[in-house]
Structure formats: structure tokens, C-alpha cells
Structure 1
């Protein structure tokens, strides 16, 4: 199994990033890249992407413990690690990735800007995103300050900018707006926060809990408070229509393992959290302190349901922010294969 890291778009303005993303998406789906598109080659490894966040819990445990690679029918597996969703989606549409755990924001963006080829085939995790601030105890106190998100256009970036807009604050990646939103990788967000270079950030767990523990401050917004019944998808599983058609048995095998991991989490939350922490420690070189792990997991919920109503609302938020020209995400979710692998044996 190979594990590689990828970062993208960290120094781009909103307009530059969206232009680059559209170009990559259009060219990636329209042509075969050298060494990239595995097509229907049954002997090619299944290329899986995920992030080293506990919001990708099933992926962390499934990879580290070997549950994915050991699943009958999955064949060879090539695992790639990303920092944020847009970079992973660039790889997916370019044909260098087959399936990924990703946030709904980049999934929606890719679906609408890259020929509606992407498919959400399962939910994974709900909740687990927060806005942590150093001194600000209200939205008004953020004016004139710098706040970070993991990447322009990622799920937390959309949530942050939409929330700021609702508070009457203009956000931009360049100086001069009410709030300057800076794209940084999650580890860099933590370092900049601890050093006092930024006021705060809207981040997935465990980075929110780590920011509070290592740098002080408070959680200004728990994103669960912004959604009906506190439920919104933080992580879903995506692939493309082509991969579903050409590599269906391997994707089904991956989903079988994913379902078992999700059921294991529900049955033994504390034990699963410990397994996630062990996996996180291997990727991040150090496991989370028990108190941070407990705090971070308190805001997470395993879910095979991708919460389609929340997906539609996220698309509306992205359109309002100028990320999208349309909010029509009909056809994005395809749970047929998930329902097949969950069906009891006849």
C-alpha cells in the first residue's frame, strides 16, 4: 500500500482557485491522463483518498488496521492522503483517484462543475466542525481580524463564509474585508493559532479540540447548532459514474468494509475512538491526548445516511457565496450499491 500526501490551492485567491478547479475538472473528465486513469483494468489497484482527521474515522481505522485491503473482492489498494477536499476532488476528476472520503462542499462543487459525473455513494460522519476563537466572543468581535479555513472551497470554508455573511460581515481571502479568511492546512492552522498569528479558524475535529487545548480560547460556534436536529454531513464517500460502472465489485467491497466499521463505531464508541486515535497517531506521528480525543469525539456521529436535505442546503450556501452558478444537485446521491451491500442474504 502506498501513502502519499497532497496539498493544493493554499496560496490562491477565490477567483484564481475556482478558475483552476474548473480547468482541472474539465480536462480531467474529458481525457485519459498518462498513468492516471485505471479505467476498467481489474488488475489495477483501487485508489482510495482520505484525510488525517478523525472526521474520516472509518477510513483511518479501515486503512491502518487493514480492514479495507483484507476485504474479499477489493483487490490491491493504493491509499492517498490529502489535506482538504478540493485537492482530493482534483485527483478524482483527473483520473488519479477512484474513490474518496470527502466533505460535502467539494463533492457538490465537483458534481456541478465537472459534468455531473461524481456520485455520493454513502455517508460516513456527521458533526465535528467548530469555529474556535482566541479572544472574540461574538461575530462582531471578529471584524478586522484573520480567521482560517482548511482550503478555499472546502466544507468548513463554505460554512465559515456563509456564517459570516449571515452575521453581516464581508469575508475575503485578501486584506480589506471585514474578516480576512486565510486558507491553511489544518496543522498550519494549529501552529498559527498557538503563535497568535490568527484569531481563529473553522476546522474539523480533532483540530478544534486541539486548538482549544493547545492555544486556549473558546468554541464560538459548534456547527451542529446551525442545523435542524444538529445533523449535517461532515464526511461522505464519493466516486464517479465511470468507476461505478467499471469497478463496481471493488467499490462494493469497500462499502461492505465501511458499513462494518460504522456498525462497530455505533456498538462500541469508546473502543472505536481508541482505534481511531491509534490510527491517527501513526499518520500524525503522535496520538491525541485522552482528554482531546474525548472532547473531539463528543461532537461526532457515525452515519451511513449522507443527509440529502443538508446537502441541498450546502449547495444553496455555496451558490450564495458565488462558488456555484446553480444549486441543483439532483442526481448527486446514488445509494443503490450501499443498499445492495446492506441487504440481508437471500
Structure 2
């Protein structure tokens, strides 16, 4: 592909830092001081008190729902978008909650505030919002209503590093927020994810859940000593607080994360410039351009047909392939999750039609690669190629 979804997400300096670490006589490879320093630097950048580095954004989702399950062992409902990545919904199911689906706002591709508020009940345990494709999915109305009802907001910021709402970075609003450092995202640790929170109990649980449920991983010595004192019959090094997982990352991931974080703001600025150039040039008679760009930190070029024309969609996809433009139909997660096989025993047949905005993106929406070293003239060429189809 001449224009792939991602290009050159690792710099020479990133790789040299890893090589220098490996050239030590006895380099530590499992999680250690580099991981802990990355967690601290990431917390400061996002604007939260605590961060826990894990092996993927999907693991961040899984552990987040496990923490919610500890609070609500009887289960309940979690409101989720129909346009998202599978792990958001899978983590809800894996922890015994019932997903309640809502449609999206076409200007942000995130959950519609009206749709969320209409689905709140006394069984709602959390609202799990996905900030899709770099857009700010929050509204003041949603934040205020959830606070009044004491319903936790959980943010999936995996595709939106650096995006803001009212001047604060996304990920600093929720009870818990999750990030992904997959190769094609704003920054990468090869594979990786982060759980962020201001809640010390959440942070303790995340650190233990990440590492087999072991108390010694809690990172809070006072808490650790109190548990040891109440369990004198157990070896202090092997006290397991949860039936948990192993989702640890490595020192290599920590090194890459620290180096990539240093240039994340500058890279995000270039991505945003690219996206605005893309929107300014794309044929507005055929494609939507009225996105909420305020506060966005663009992840990929959003190409959504105005009209549901399947013949044109086929010509468009064939044309982009012929021109070497890589794309994904359906935007985030491949479109309407309610259509996916893993939900066929969960939702009624045909219920995907209840979400018309997501349905439109499912068939007539695409995302294209937007990355920091994409030059302005390349953006102009991509726009010209698409407009000519």
C-alpha cells in the first residue's frame, strides 16, 4: 500500500534505547523501574493520580470490568456503544454484566448523550464510553447527569490519546479510563495498555489483578502490611487477593512508552493538521465533513458517505485499493458490533436496525491512515485520488 494505515511508528531513538538496555550485563526484562517510571510520567501527562501498565488495551478493559464486578458481584447493566472495539463489549460479558447498546452521535462517532440518558435504569452499573477515532465523545450534560445519579463513567481512550474536553485531557474524567499502545495508535509500546484512575482502591485492585492477584504487587505498603497482619498463616510473599490474571507488560514496553511519550504532543498536532487538511479538501457533496473537531486528536481520516449508495461504495473501495490507499470499512471495530456472531445469543435477530447512525457507518463509513510523517502534499494527493473516483 502506498498509503498504509500506519507508517514509521518507531523512531531510531526508540530502538536505540531498547538496544542500550539489552546490552547491559544483566538487563531486567519483566516489569520493573522503567514500567513504574512510565506509569508515573503517563499519569502526569493525562492528569490523573494513578496508572497501571498492562499488556494491551483489551486487558485494560478486562481488568476494569473485573474491578467493577468486585463492586457489583450481582452484575447489572453496562451501557456501551454499538460502534466500538470488541474488547469493550467482551469485557462486559466476561464479567457477568449485561451490555445495553446505544447509537452514536454522527459528529463524534461516540455514544449519543440522548441515547445514553434514555437507557439509564436502577440496574445501570456504569456507562462505558468509547472516544472513537480521536474525537471527544463527552458532553457536559452526560458528565453532570451521571454525577447526579452516582453512576460511574468509564472512558475508553484507546483511539484518542491527547484529545480534550473543556481543556482537560480525555481519560481524566472517568472513574476509570483505558488506553491502548498498539502499533497503529497514537503511540506504541508494540502491544500495551494503561488503566488510569484517581481512586486508590481501583489502583490497588488493578495492580494486583494485573499480576495473579498477588498482594505484593499492590504498591501500597501500609495496605500490604495490614493484610499480612490479618493473615498470619500465609507466606507474605504469596497472598492472593483475587482470582486474577497475568497481564503484565515488560521493561522494553516501558522504555518504548517513555520515549514515545516525549514526542506525543508534537505528533498529535501533526495528525490534527493532516485531518483538517483532509476535511477541507474532500468532496463535501459526497462525504460528511461536519465532525466535532474541537478537542479532537485525530487517529485516522474519517471518510463517511453522505448517502447510502452501495454501488458507489463498491466503486469507492475498488478505487482506493487500486490507488494503494489502505482503509477499513465500518470505521472503529468494523462497524455495528450488534451484527457480530459473538452477540447472536445475546441480542435479538435484527436488533442492529435500532441503531441507524451506526448502521450507516457500518456500510458507508471508512477510516484511512493518518500518521505523523504523512506529508501535507501526500494528504492532498489522497484527497485528489478519492475525489476522482
**TM-score when normalising by structure 2:** 0.25
Higher relative contact order (CA closer than 8 Å, sequence separation 6+): 1
**TM-score when normalising by structure 1:** 0.27
